[in-house]
Amino acid sequence: MKLKAVLTIVALFIFFGLAGNIFGDGVLIVDPPHPVPEAPAKQPLTVKYHRVSIDIRDQVAVTVIDQVFKNNFDTDLEGDYIFPLPENAAITDFSLWVDGKRTTGEILDKDTAREIYERIVREMRDPGLFEYIGRNMFRARVYPIPGHGESRIELKYTQTLPYDGALIQYSYPLDTERFSPLPIEEVTISAKLQSSIPIKTVYSPSHDVDIRTEKHSAEVGYEANNVKPDNDFLLYYTVSEEDVGLNLLTFRDNDDPGYFLLLLSPGKIETKPLKKDILFVFDTSGSMRGAPLEQAKDALHYCLNGLNEEDRFNVVSFATFVDPFSERLVLANKKNIDEAIEFVGHLRARGGTNIHDALMTALSMFKDTAASRPQMIVFLTDGEPTVGETDSKNIILKLRDMNNMNVRMFVFGVGNDVNTHLLDRISIEHRGVSEYVTPGENIELKVSSFYTKISEPVLSNPHLDFGKIRTLEVYPAVLPDLFKGTQLVLLGRYSGHGTSLVTLRGDIDKSNKHFVYEGKFSEKNLENDFIPRIWATRKIGYLMNEIRLNGEKKELVEEIVLLSKEYGIMTPYTSFLVLENEKEYQRYGIRDDEALLLKDDGERYKRAMKSEVGEEAVASAKDIDSLKSALTRPSPLAETVKHIGSKTFYLKGNQWIDSDYRDGMRVIDIKYLSKKYMDILARNPKLGKYFALGKNLMVVVGNRCYRVKE
């Protein structure tokens, strides 16, 4: 294992491996002009850019691919462009432009594709190509590809997307991590969705995408630079005429509890937004002086102007003393909003930080208000409590006693001098969220973006009943309130199987409402193999947060270690504590000097976990929150870990070993590229994605273990 990879692991606690993997594209394979002895007879060309545009209208998807390949050799080349088509896809256009000339391509059936690929694999000696076996192929002969020039290929295909219980899935192939010799300079994907039935949820478990949703349309965007693709792009969207859309995905491959992912998205239940009571509690202590104060004022202007006429509000500024705009909540009419904006404009930064009195004053204003309304506090501070009650435990206890109205508290910590333990406890105990604005980030953008999400409550105090299905280890453990334009992704495990009624209950205005759906919990389903790793990521996040706020306990650390090993998710505990002895380090390809580095840095990050204030504390809080709210499967940052489907492989020496392997399993030995190897792939093409990992590996399928040897 390279030292660079080790340093990447050491940095895991800062970045926590949440960046999404990148998807793949077609591959252009050429005969190099001057083959080197012992080198492959064929090799792929480098991809300069790869752009994908997707247009989906009522389940019919049109995909347009535009990619440019670079010939880094001195002479002209010719080669094969091959693209693995999705099932039931039809090519509608193909353009290959070389010096203004256009050529055509051909569709290969599976048998022909397999024959060509077996030949190419033997010549290239690259197992990665076996991932394509079992798919339909499009092939084009490309000539000439000018020396030190480029070839541009455009491909267009149409397909009908599967529809299952109002859930529609789109997948763009393929994994090309092993093929492009150099990183791709630009990878972009844009999707436009149109539906005659209202769109409820748009979700990608594979990539961190930007999403904009309207009633009957949506747009999705993704972009990355200088990357090596290694993951298919997956997109799910749901449609429903219901006020609240609910859709269920499951994964189950054995008798253990299955995994589920539930997508919950509210429509416009009421003709008008629910009336709400909201208080903005705003830190004006001396440390807010300058840009932070001005940005916070602009954010408050945005929030105040976004209030609805029947809302009630107030602004409470605080430093050494508490200074409210009004003694009570006031209606959000134009007069009151204008006066509140003028009040905010005159605020100046001076004095200490009296967090206790500010929050107690705010809570007291809800005493005489209607409990049927959603009630919220948006709290912004940039420091620790320095005036009045300064003991964090006492502040937490007093807030707990005072807040018998179940007011939600949404917390913003500005800078690195905030007490992250205090702020996180406030938000967790009062069913809100905490966000941190680090130095250099724009407070106005962060607060206004957040307020847009919570400005229109739809359903408060939501609760789910899964009927005859028993659910366990569900994250988030407590459902947050639902707001217009937002969506909730719930992950958990389940026992039992079959169709069950799923009931959503919650409060709308003054009455309790319920919505009933039909959910199918599979006895066996291997399609959604991304679910277990996202579930495990969230569980690790909750366990890490428990340790950070309440101290390290042996059973929590052991659970994190077990989850990390099983699902291949790196954490400070697995990076530094799981390797009990030198043999364990060697097992994962880590040298002794690298192991020492990991151990030393492990202690540093353990100390950071205990920090309440400072840059490391804020980074820790943000990273753990990212784990708790993970929407995409994490990428392995170590060169010794690979994720393929629901499986995790670890590198031992030059052999990749399935984490499901156990001593005593029946092992079937296969020589790489032998007739037996090819026959097994022909009988079970799904093994191709595992065999693509390398020439030396062990993979467990059912109760068998296949051992491939070069």
Q: Give me the CATH number covering residue 194.
A: 2.60.40.3680
Could you tell me which residue, 528 or 101, shows the higher pLDDT?
528
Count: domains in the chain: 5
The pTM of the full predicted model, rounded to 2 decimals, is: 0.76
CB atoms within 10 A of CB 103: 15
Tell me, yes or no, whether 544 and 668 share the same domain: no
pLDDT band with cut points at 50, 70 and 90 for residue 368? low
**Interior angle at CA 19, CA 474 and CA 630, nearest 5:** 10
- Domain of 311: which CATH number? 3.40.50.410
Per-residue pLDDT band at 569 (split at 50, 70, 90): confident
Closest CA to 267 of 483, 57, 508: 483
- Residue 99's Cβ-side half-sphere holds a number of Cα atoms within 13 Å equal to 8
Q: What is the mean pLDDT of the chain?
A: 79
Is the same domain home to 113 and 87?
Answer: yes
What does the pLDDT look like over 136-145, one tens digit per residue? 677 777 777 7
Residues 339 and 426 in one domain: yes
155: three-class secondary structure by DSSP = strand
3-state secondary structure of 129: helix
Q: Are residues 85 and 196 in the same domain?
A: yes
Give me the domain span that covers residue 573: 531-628
The answer on 622 and 486 residing in a single domain is no
Give the CA distances from residue 80 to residues 198, 544, 611, in Å, rounded to whole numbers and listed in that order: 43, 49, 57
> What is the Cα–Cα distance from 259 to 246, expressed in whole angstroms?
16
Structure tokens at 684: 């079970």
Token reading at 400 = 């707990």
State how beta strands 184-194 and 434-437 pair.
unpaired
Which of 102-111, 119-128, 646-655 holds the top average pLDDT?
646-655
pLDDT of residue 271: 44
Does 450 have pLDDT greater than 80? yes
Residues 61 and 146 occupy one common structural domain: yes
- Dist. CA 439–CA 433, nearest whole Å: 20
- Give the pLDDT score at 5: 31
Within a domain: residue 239? Answer: no
Encoding tokens for residue 170? 């789109």
Mean pLDDT is lowest, of 162-176, 192-206, 310-324, 588-602, for: 588-602
Residues 209-236: what's their mean pLDDT?
85
Question: What is the arithmetic mean of pLDDT over 172-200?
Answer: 78
Would residue 164 count as lying in a domain? yes
Q: Is residue 643 part of a domain?
A: no
Q: Is the pLDDT of residue 396 over 90?
A: yes
Give a yes or no: residue 10 inside a domain. Answer: no
CA geometry: angle 305, 306, 310, nearest 5 deg? 100
- Is residue 157 one of the residues assigned to a domain? yes
Do 61 and 80 lie in one domain? The reply is: yes
pLDDT band at 580 (very low <50, low <70, confident <90, very high): very low
Claim to verify: residue 387 and residue 481 sit in the same structural domain: no
Q: Tens of pLDDT along 500-536? A: 999 988 887 767 888 888 889 999 888 888 899 889 9
The domain spanning residue 475 has which CATH number? 2.60.40
Same-domain check for residues 701 and 574:
no
Q: What is the spatial distance between Cα 518 and Cα 524, in angstroms, rounded to a whole number?
A: 18
Tens digits of residue pLDDT in 281-317: 999 998 888 888 888 888 899 899 989 888 999 999 9
> How confident is the model at residue 206, as a pLDDT?
85
Shared-domain flag, residues 33 and 174:
yes
Examine the fold and report which residue of 521, 540, 567 is the final residue of a domain before the chain moves on.
521
Q: Which residue has the higher pLDDT, 294 or 583?
A: 294
Among residues 172, 200, 230, the one where a domain terminates is: 230
Q: Please indicate, yes or no, whether residues 413 and 475 belong to a single structural domain of this protein.
A: no
**For residue 647, is it within any domain?**
no
The answer to whether residue 73 sits within a structural domain is yes
Number of residues that this document lists for the chain? 710
44 has a pLDDT exceeding 90: no
- Domain membership of residue 6 (yes or no) is no
Helices marked H in 487-591: 531-550, 554-567, 572-576, 582-587
281 and 429 inside one domain = yes
Would you list the DSSP string of 406-448? --EEEEEEESS-SBHHHHHHHHHHTT--EEEE-TTS-HHHHHH
- Which residue spans within 60-145 are E strands per DSSP? 60-70, 77-85, 90-98, 101-102, 105-108, 136-145
> What is the per-residue pLDDT across 178-191, written as a single tens digit (0 to 9) for each?
456 677 888 899 99
